[in-house]
């Protein structure tokens, strides 16, 4: 019998979408085929339906009654199936610290964490970027100012994607939904950040903030926004925009310069900005004031 606990079952419920009696996107037939293929076990036998006949109840019963090595083998197979489906569909991860929590459970059950699996969750979910990559980014940042306005805008978006990639934040290029343009996105600490990137001579005003925030409000609850305006923001923009219940933070060109010139981590900059916004309602605290 496994040593799995009730709290572990709660995690499996979330990871494998078991709350409605289902397990991921399995049909009854494909669920049975999966068990026969991975474990040479007929999960449709009555002994596995003592707690109920739904796929979720049979899976819960199985992981409680089977020995730890068998449970580990099954869970890893389910995880690989889940991740393959999620990545192919380009779906965001909705379970906080899912990968770290999953492999911690596997280790607790006697399994091994693969070398490329993340360690237990810490304050930041990204990894230390290569120093050569950061030097290249610093040079790209300098070169941006030498470009004409139109190619500079596109180059700025490419620069930001390279920055997000350096910290393993799963960036996406600019994309267009019906009636709106998003300049890119990345994932940090289980939140998806939509990006507004402006390399213009004029500061962004309250109207620009309202427009971008409106896009975020139409998205899922775990969506946030990062508004980057190289020329900064007009003096009254934040006063006119308001402070209550906002889901975005802001950066300007000086923030990027300070971060790159001082070798500060992008993910830590974002985390400190998010915390200050949550505590004080200030959407744009300069990097100089945060570090």
The DSSP annotation for 165-206 comes to HHTT---B--EEETTEEE--EEEETTEEEEEEEE--SSPB-H
pLDDT value at 147 more than 80? yes
- 3-state SS record for 232-244: CECCCHHHHHCCC
pTM here is 0.57
Residue-wise pLDDT for 229-239, tens only, equals 999 999 889 88
Across 12-25, average pLDDT: 93
- As to burial, measured by CB atoms within 10 angstroms (0-12 exposed, 13-18 middle, 19+ buried), residue 56 is buried
Domain range annotation of the chain: 6-108, 131-290
State the pLDDT at residue 122.
Answer: 45
pLDDT for the residue numbered 235: 87
Residue 168: which region, alpha, beta or left (left: phi > 0; alpha: psi -120 to 50)?
left
**pLDDT tens digits for range 30-78:** 999 999 988 999 999 999 998 899 999 999 999 999 999 999 999 999 9
| Nearest of 140, 133, 141, 134 to residue 230 by alpha carbon | 141
Buried b (16+ CB within 10 A) or exposed e, 178-205: eeeebbbbbbbbebbbbbbbbbeeebbb
CATH number at 131-290? 3.40.1350.10
């Amino acid at each position: 019998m496994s040593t799995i606990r009730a709290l572990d079952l709660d995690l499996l419920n979330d990871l494998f979408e078991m709350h409605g009696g289902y397990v991921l996107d399995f049909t009854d037939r494909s669920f049975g085929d999966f068990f026969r293929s991975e474990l040479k076990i007929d999960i449709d036998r009555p002994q596995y339906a003592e707690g109920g006949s739904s796929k979720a109840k049979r899976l819960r019963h199985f992981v409680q009654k089977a020995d730890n090595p068998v449970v580990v083998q099954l869970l890893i197979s389910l995880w690989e199936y889940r991740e393959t489906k999620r990545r192919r569909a380009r779906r965001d991860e909705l379970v906080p610290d899912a990968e770290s929590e999953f492999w911690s459970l596997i280790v607790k059950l006697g399994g091994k964490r693969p070398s490329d699996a993340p360690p237990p969750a810490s304050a930041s979910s990204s990894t230390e970027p290569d120093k050569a990559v950061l030097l290249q980014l610093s040079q790209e940042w300098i070169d941006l100012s030498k470009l004409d306005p139109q190619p500079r805008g596109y180059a700025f978006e490419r620069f930001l994607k390279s920055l997000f990639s350096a910290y393993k934040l799963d960036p996406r290029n600019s994309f267009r939904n019906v009636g709106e343009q998003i300049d890119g996105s990345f994932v940090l600490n289980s939140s998806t950040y939509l990006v507004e990137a402006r390399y213009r001579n004029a500061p962004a005003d309250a109207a620009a903030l309202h427009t971008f925030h409106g896009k975020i409000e139409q998205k899922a609850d775990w969506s946030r926004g990062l508004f980057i305006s190289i020329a900064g923001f007009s003096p009254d923009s934040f006063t006119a925009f308001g402070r209550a219940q906002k889901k975005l933070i802001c950066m300007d060109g000086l923030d990027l310069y300070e971060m790159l010139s001082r070798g500060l981590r992008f993910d830590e900059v974002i985390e400190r900005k998010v915390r200050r916004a949550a505590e004080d309602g200030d959407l744009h605290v300069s990097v100089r004031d945060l570090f």
